[in-house]
Structure 1
Amino acid sequence: MANTLTKTDFNFPGQKSVYHGKVRDVYDIDNDLMVMVATDRISAFDVILPKGIPGKGQVLNQIAGKFLDATSDIVPNWKLATPDPMVTVGLKCEGFRVEMIIRGYLTGSAWREYQAGVRELCGVKLPEGMKENQKFPEPIITPTTKAEAGHDENISREEIIAQGIVSKEDYEQMEKYTRALFARGSEIASKHGLILVDTKYEFGKRDGKVYLIDEIHTPDSSRYFYADGYQERFEKGEAQRQLSKEFVRQWLIDNGFMGKAGQQVPEMTDEYCQSVADRYIELFEHITGEKFNNESETCSNLAARIQKNVTDYLESRK
């Protein structure tokens, strides 16, 4: 097995604080920049699983970096540089307390709710008679509130504005950016034989301007179907071939784990972790059209490499 980075404890020049997320660790530099380290941790059902996935952090960081660059003409984003395969350094923004989820197809949690009789999601009315994995007449936006801990909660556009979580002007700007980003992501996916099914975007504000922050179009934040065979599978009611983290959730469900109290995470063997790594690499190569060069296979100390690369970059800015 290649090395994995599952914990970080860096001390970068100008470091003010660190936030350890489910997958990313974010270091605040001088209250002006953010150093975002994409670790090899993997989470599902809001639980961090006990083992890391080799190469996963690099996959996420490099896909996000490519899509931030490929969409910078649509919306300003936080990225300044990627000094290490697992790290992005960017502008510190004040994050909005909502995630913008956009869905092009009825699948995943939305399908589970639809199956249970729900016909309105986050204030958006859903047509009757839809089937699993069916394309919506046009993509729908189903925002969630960003919870400090535990599950994010569905919320409507109207509630967000009425509660003052985001101003009407900023929300409308985020909505416009969300639709434009999804259209661009769908166009790029299509060129590589994929369908961008659904995804989430996060936005923040800096100097009065809305920025795209965090990751975009990665297998952790997005779901992709293979375009080839989609229609045939849909018509037969068969499961779609997909590239996303859904296969990990399904494996957990099949082994009796859904993040509920008293449930035990099934054993993650080295073979299983490698199979997950292979799926992440497959998505990287499909969505970018490039070969993945797994740097963790040739580096004996990922933390030392990151400490040096980031420190060198921050020093070069002085």
Structure 2
Amino acid sequence: MEAIKETNFSIAGQTGFYRGKVRDVYYFDNKIAVIATDRISAFDVVLPRAIPYKGQVLNQIASINLAATKDIVPNWVISTPDPNVTIGHNCEPFKVEMVIRGYLAGHAWREYRAGKRSVCGVALPEGLKENDKLPQPIITPTTKADAGHDEDISREEILAKGLVSEEDYLKLEHYTHSLFARGTELAKQQGLILVDTKYEFGKYNGEVFLIDEIHTPDSSRYFYSEGYAERQANNEPQRQLSKEFVRQWLIENGFQGKDGQQIPEMTDDVVSGISERYIELYEVFTGKPFVKQDYSNALKRIEEKLTENIFNTKDYNF
């Protein structure tokens, strides 16, 4: 099954390179080129097989959402010259990720089920069950680890450690709530519920910018709106579009990223199923059919698009 697992380009004018869990980043002075590969990670571990079309889905959904939120906060993007490539400003990232939750799901539910009644210093009421809507959206930040696991962190700890100044953190909180409200509206238009998501921010020329991807299946969790209330009332699992099904498959097969645990075998059927779910989210979210890229010459195409556009792109935001 064809997929883009990694890139190894050497571009004229390149000043650096960084390989993240799922993206390859090429540095060019004040610009960066981010390649959305088909790698997939869960529990902060990169899984052994890449997922066809995953990078394209992420890059194109992120592009749509960055364009739809440019009036809320400036973002890093300059252009998207290829389904897997985004060129943008080289921002200095903050060392925290702003996670916001409108429903009790995923990691927050696992913490709640274990008896905890606060997440990242934010109190949660008694009597909630999995996937219940919270009284209001809550921000539960995490550290942004260069390697290993991101860790929950409270607002007070962020300020005490000097990870973000109080002035900037107030901006991050405001932007996070505003972006989540916009994302909720966009999802609602397509019959979806934005359950939780994360945003990353950085600074460019002294101004706070939104960076990375937003509202994608890697960074967000969605439920189908239709039937949500009935399923909650009947204690039934929610129909969802997110990467959570990958995490659940790993958990069921004895893997949560802990020492000594082995990643279960990713058969062709497993890989194909994950790919289909990513494409499904794209089509449901956008309301448009997904046009699959041609993998036969993908690496050459990406390198050519990057080379053609990195220094010939007008300097503007979405």
Alignment TM class, shorter chain as reference = over 0.9
Task: Name structure 1 gaps, 5 residues minimum.
Answer: none
Q: Which residue of 2 aligns with 1:187?
A: 185
CA deviations on 1:38-57 (whole Å, 9 max, x unpaired) are: 00001111111111110000
1:220-251 per-residue CA deviation (whole Å, 9 max, x = no partner) reads 00000000111111111111110000111111
Query: How far does residue 9 in structure 1 lie from its aligned partner after superposition?
Result: 0.7
Match of 2:302 among 293, 303, 306: 306
Matched, 1:42 2:40: yes
Question: Where does residue 113 of structure 1 map in the other structure?
Answer: 111
Are the equivalent residues in 2 in contact too, given 1:19–1:27 (CA < 8 A)? yes
C-alpha deviation, 1:181, in angstroms: 0.3
Separation of aligned partners in 1, 2:258 and 2:152: 19
- Asked whether the 8 Å contact 2:78–2:313 carries over to 1, the reply is no
Once the two structures are superposed, the pairs formed by residues 176-255 of structure 1 within 5 Å of their partners are 176-255=174-253
Equivalent position of 2:8 in the other structure: 9
Unaligned runs of 5+ residues in structure 2 are none
Instruction: Give the superposition deviation at 1:301.
Output: 2.2
Please tell me whether the aligned partners of residues 13 and 314 of structure 1 are also in contact (alpha carbons under 8 angstroms): no
1:159 corresponds in structure 2 to 157
Q: Match of 1:177, SS?
A: helix
| One-letter code aligned to 1:282 | E
Deviation at 1:13, TM superposition (A): 2.7
**How many Å apart are 1:263 and its aligned residue?**
2.1
Contact map agreement 2:140 2:152 (CA 8 A) in 1? yes
Alpha-carbon offset, residue 87 of structure 1: 0.8
Is 2:3–2:295's contact at 8 Å kept on the other side of the alignment?
no
Equivalent residues of 1:80, 1:91 under 8 A apart: yes
Q: State which drifts further: 5-14 or 69-78.
A: 5-14
Structure 1 moving runs of 4+ over 3 Å: none
Amino acid corresponding to residue 157 of structure 1 in structure 2: R
Q: Structure 2: how far apart are the matches of 1:287 and 1:249?
A: 21
Q: Which amino acid aligns with 2:165?
A: S
Contact 1:67/1:217 (8 A) holds in 2: yes
For 2:277 and 2:42, how far apart are their aligned partners in 1? 16
Gap change, CA 1:288 and 1:257, over 3 Å in 2: same
Query: Within 2, Cα distance between the matches of 1:268 and 1:193?
Result: 31
Q: CA deviation at 1:315?
A: 4.2
Q: Is the 8 A contact 1:197 1:222 kept in 2?
A: yes
Give identity over the alignment, percent. 63
Classify the secondary structure of the residue corresponding to 2:9: coil
Counterpart of 1:228 in structure 2: which amino acid?
Answer: E
1:286, distance to aligned residue in structure 2 (A): 0.8
Of 126, 129, 134, 1:128 maps to 126
Would you say the 8 A contact 2:44–2:150 is kept in 1? no
Identify the match of residue 173 of structure 1 among 167, 171, 174.
Answer: 171
Deviations 1:61-111 (A, max 9, x none): 000000000000000000000111001100010000000000000111101
Secondary structure at 1:153 match in 2: coil
Distance in 1 between the 2:253 and 2:163 partners?
Answer: 38
- Structure 1 distance, partners of 2:41, 2:76, is 24
Q: Which amino acid aligns with 1:302?
A: A
Aligned partner (choices 43, 50, 59) of residue 61 of structure 1: 59
Q: Distance in 2 between matches of 1:120 and 1:94?
A: 31
Q: Residue 215 of structure 1 aligns to a residue in which SS? A: coil
Q: Distance in 2 between matches of 1:104 and 1:13?
A: 45
For the aligned residue pairs, the C-alpha RMSD in angstroms reads: 1.1
Residues 250-261 of structure 1: pairs in structure 2 closer than 5 A: 250-261=248-259
Residue identity in the other structure for 2:115? G
| Aligned residue in 2 for 1:138 | 136
| Whole-Å separation in 1 of the counterparts to 2:126 and 2:313 | 56
Shift of 1:121: 1.1
Q: Look up the match of 1:102.
A: 100
1:317/1:229 CA distance change after superposition, 3 Å:
closer
